[in-house]
Each structure stands twice: as C-alpha cells, then as structure tokens.
Structure 1
Amino acid sequence: MEKRKSIELKQKFFRQNGGLLLQQQLSSSDQGISKTKVFSSEELETATDGFNVNRILGQGGQGTVYKGMLADGVIVAVKRSLSVDQTHLTTNVQGTYGYLDPEYFWSSQYTDKSDVYSFGVVLAELLTRQKAILTNESQERKNLAAHFVLLMEENRIFDIVDAQIKEHCPKEDVIGVANIAMRCLNLNGKMRPTMKQVTSELERIIQLSQKKDVQQNNEEADQGITAEVISAWDDASTSITCTSFQVDQSLSSSDVEPLVPFKTW
C-alpha cells in the first residue's frame, strides 16, 4: 500500500509539473528525433550511485546537484529537489559544499552535530593544507572529508598530511588531531562528539605537547650545564699540570746550579 501510494504521488507531481505536456512534445518531435528524455527516479538513482555525497556538485535552497553517468556513458548533472514534507525551516538552511553535514541531505535535519561535522572538515583542511573540495590532475572534484576518512581507515593518513606539518609536528600530535577529525566526520551524527568534547581533546593535546617541550628544554639545559662543568674541570686540570711542570723544571735547574756558592776549607 505504501509503494502504491508513493507511485500515485509521483504521478500526481508529474502531472502538476507539466509532465503530460512534455510527453506530448516528445511524441510530436520532428522526424522522430527526441531532444529531451524523461528518466525514472530509479534511473537517476543508479546514475548518481544512490545520490552519493561524493557526487555532489553544488547545493542550494532549492535542491542538490549531483554528477551522474548514464548507462551509455554520458555525463549528466542531476538536480534533486530535497523532500515533500520539508518545512520552510529546513528549506532555508544552506551551506558551502564540502562543509555541510551529509546527514542533512537525507534527513533534512540540521542539528548541533552538523556544526561538529563542519569543524571536522576544518581540522582536515588544517592537517592537509588542502581545500574542502579536491581537484586532481584529471580535473575531477573529490570531497576532502570522504578522502580523509578513507585514508584514516586504511592507516595511511600521512599520505595526505602536509609535508611541513610532518616535519615540524610530533607524530603523536598529528595522529591525535586526525582521530578527532575522523570522529567529527562520522556520517552518523549521533556517533560524533560534542563541540565541548572536541575542545577538551584539543586542549589536552596542546597541554601534553607543551609539557614535552618544557621537559625537552630542561634536559637540554642540564646537558649544557654538565658540558660547562666538564670543560671547566678540563681547563683546571690543564692549568695544574702546567704549573707542576714548571715547578719541576725550576727544581731541576737549582740542583744543577746552586744559588749560593760554597767554599772548601
């Protein structure tokens, strides 16, 4: 019954939006050549890989545009209008593609966990020094968040981390921030941490890093003091040795040539 109701609703919308007129124009096209083709929702879902978030080209208040590929290999852009029962409250929610919570696309619900997702994208950008939308050599656009999570799952995060960050930042700090970003980018909003938890984790990483820096500086200072003491001891030992050598020389010379001559009676 639900399936039949859905089919009837689609047919109703098709008629309301000029579908019958479109079919008439297609059937009366010159020489039987069709300039326009009507696709079923199943065909469009297949073309967009189930409206995969990695296929999103843009998003606005009236719908989301996906990159699709038809069965014959033709590349198309598919605009999906967001849902029948959507209210004006959620229709007004807009965001920059690459930062917007994917869960919003299929739930039409924007929550505080959606902000957590966006912050996760920012963390990924900071670690990789790349934009939210990647463009490879073949000019294909990819979602940084999805690529970031994939590398994390494959334990290859340092393949995408910026070279200067790998050189100057401790490895454990990079991994710690990357784990936080991955938790923020969870597709299930309920599994994401709160912003308070994210803040606490980042502060903990910073404090541990600062503590290590202080400890390292103290160790280097202790090594410097030890080196100075050894150097001073070496200098003192050299001075004592030289003085002793000079005294011995004076004694030997006095034995050979007495300071006071004596007479023989």
Structure 2
Amino acid sequence: SDCYDSNVTASSQNKTSGQRCECPFGYSGDPYIAGSCTAIPRFYGETIRSKKWALVGVLSSLGSIILLFGLWWLYKVVRKRMIKKRKEKFFKQHGGLLLQQRLSSGEVSVDRAILFSLKDLERATDNFNINRVLGKGGQGTVYKGMLVDGRTVAVKKFKVQGKVEEFINEFVILSQINHRNVVKLLGCCLETEIPLLVYEFIPNGNLFQYLHDQNEDLPMTWDMRLRIATEIAGALFYLHSVASQPIYHRDIKSTNILLDEKYRAKVADFGTSRIVSIEATHLTTVVQGTFGYLDPEYFHTSQFTEKSDVYSFGVVLAELLTGRKPISLVSSEEAKNLASYFALSMEEDSLFEIIDKRVAKKGEKEHIMGVANLAYRCLELNGKKRPTMKEVTLELERIRGPDKKFNAQQNHEEIELARIEDYQPYSTSNTFPTLSRGSPSSEVMPVLTSDNW
C-alpha cells in the first residue's frame, strides 16, 4: 500500500499526527494491513488487451487508407492508359496516321490542316458546354470555341461514314482550298469516337435569314444582293474549275451561304460534296439534296454534274431577285416551287410582278433583267443548256460593271456594315426537308459529313 503523513485533528486542543494509506491503482483491499492489497482480477489483462486493440485499430485504419490510396492511384493509371489506348484506336480508325503522313510529307500545309488534340478543343469550348452550342443539325452539333491563340472557331461533331482512306483523301484536298468566299477548314480532331472538325467562325448568320426574316437594321439592298451573288458564283467557279481537282458542292442553298463580319458571302456545308476526277463528266450517287434546290435532271437520273450546282445557284438567284422562299406553302395541302414559278413568270413576261419591291425600287431595270435572264438559263430543265459557273461569274461581273468592285461607295458600305455589332448566330436548322432515294451504282465518300451551320 502507499502511505503518506497526515495531520488528524480531534479538537482545537487535541492534535495528533498519523498516516493515510491507499492501495495502488489496480489493487483492492485494506491498505493498513500489510499484504492486504491484492490485484483486481483481469484488470491488467483488459488494460493490455485494450491497448493492443487500439494499436490494431490504428494500424488497420492506416492500412486501409494506404490501400484506398493505392487502389485510387492504380485506377487513375489504368484509366489513363485506357483513355490513351482508346484515343489511339479512334485516331487509327479515323485515318489519323494516314493524315499525319500526308501532313509530314508536305502534301498538305500544316498551317491549313491542323490535327487538334481533344484537350485543346475541350478547353476551347469549355468542355463542350451547352451554352456554347451555335446550332444542331441532323448530322452534328456546332460549338463556338476560342483557341489558346485567341482565334474564335466553330467546332463541329459529326459522324464518319464510308472508307477512311477516301475520307482522309477528301479532307486533305478540302484543307488546301483557300478561297475568300469558301468557309475555311482549320483542322480536325480524331481522338474521339465522333471526329471533330474545326472551322473559322462566321458571325453574321446566313443569307436565308437576311432575305426572308425581316431585318430593319440591315435591309438587303440590290447592290448587296448583286455582290453576294457574284461572290457565290466565284466560289463555285473556283470549286468546279480552279481547285486541284473539281469539287461538286451538291447542296447549294441560301442557308449554306454564311455572311462574315463585312457581310461577304462564304459558301459552307460540304457534307454532301464530292471530289471528282478531271475527266469525269458526272457522278452516280444516292440522290441527296434539299427540296426547292434539287436539280430535276439529277433527281430522275441519279447522275450529278457540275450543272446540278448551277441549277441550285439559279434558285438562289431567284431568291435574291424575288425575296421569296424556294418552297412556299399556298395552303395546308399545296406548296409553290419558286424555280417553276420564276420560270413561268419569265415566259409570261410578268417578272416584275414577283420581283422584291426593294429590288425594283433601287435596282436598274437593265441589271435586274440581266440577272433574271441568267437565273432563267441556270434553271433550264436540260442541264446541257445551262451555263457553266465560269460563264455565270463573268456575266454577273459584267452586270456589276468594271468599277463596281472597288468604287468608294461600296467600300464605304462595307466599312459601315462591319461596324454593326448585333448579329445572329449560325442557323443550323434544316429549313427545308431533305430527301434520299435509290441506291447508287458507285458510291463516293463525302468530303466532309456535316449539316447546315
């Protein structure tokens, strides 16, 4: 027992001293009798056991933490490898190696066709944020993005169909097109299941919007219409005759004519376009196109020629002249075809009854008749009687006049247009129904599979 001195006071006059004793911790008994303090049964065993389990608990917790950390690290490593292998698989599947060879061989300028990484495009589009969507179509979604160098771009997700070699070959050729009135393809990303295409960003919507949606801030003047028509014609002439290999657009319509910051025309949407050999006179393909713009001869024969693009351009010319839509609903059961209606008006000498009032008011009658006659020739049912796009371009430039392109009035107009800050986004809705029929005798891979912007 443990004893210590203690003063015991019985009364104020009687004071004695003694000791107070206590059994040690873990013992019990009479502390004043020697040997009476005995150990409490199981006390020390339980204490040691509790300390042991406490130690086991600490070690187990630490082990669990280490195990979880190890499993997390292993998951990250395995996931990273799987993502890498998946990217490599898609890259090879979509012809990435072949495209890289073309780029490294100098066949394509790297400045014109860039292979973007998925990480770069995710950063540019804020991980393809829904707020960055410019529009959606049947074949893809377009996102607005900003690259690290500050360039604003349009990133499009689409599906590849057909042989990879053909897609890459046509992508390479399209990437070399450098015309001011053709939307520029900057590059692609092949690291995803659905390949991504990157285009220059065109801010001011499309021609259809400005022709058919009332816009008091920017009325479509005759001079603007004539300039835009000339620019579209020049772009098609380039595709048909100047490019290294002829390209048939196959879907010319006002929704596929975009307008840049100065409201200059940019031909877009090469989703159904075809590369053809120089000696080829036509393509036999599945009939594809948009009602109101589709060449009737192509519809019946499934043979697409450069004159089929000319027909579609003729419909756009008729739109510019009349301000009417290619297909107008007369009633719930009847629709009016602009091409037929326009041709009939020309034959009956009643053109100015359907001409847009803004055109009739501002345009010279001689110029209006010149463009109308050109549109009528483009809409010939017999493709052989239609002019080539070169002839169309030269005729439109003649109508505009030799000094129109550079006169001070037009320059002033373009500068003023560039100052307009309010603009409309890309239109990606299919304004008109598309069609597809028949089976091709020989199918050719599209240059780029995409929808309306």
TM range (shorter): 0.3 to 0.5
> Would you tell me which structure has more strand in proportion to its own residues?
2
The structure, 1 or 2, with the larger RCO (C-alpha pairs under 8 Å, 6+ apart) is 2
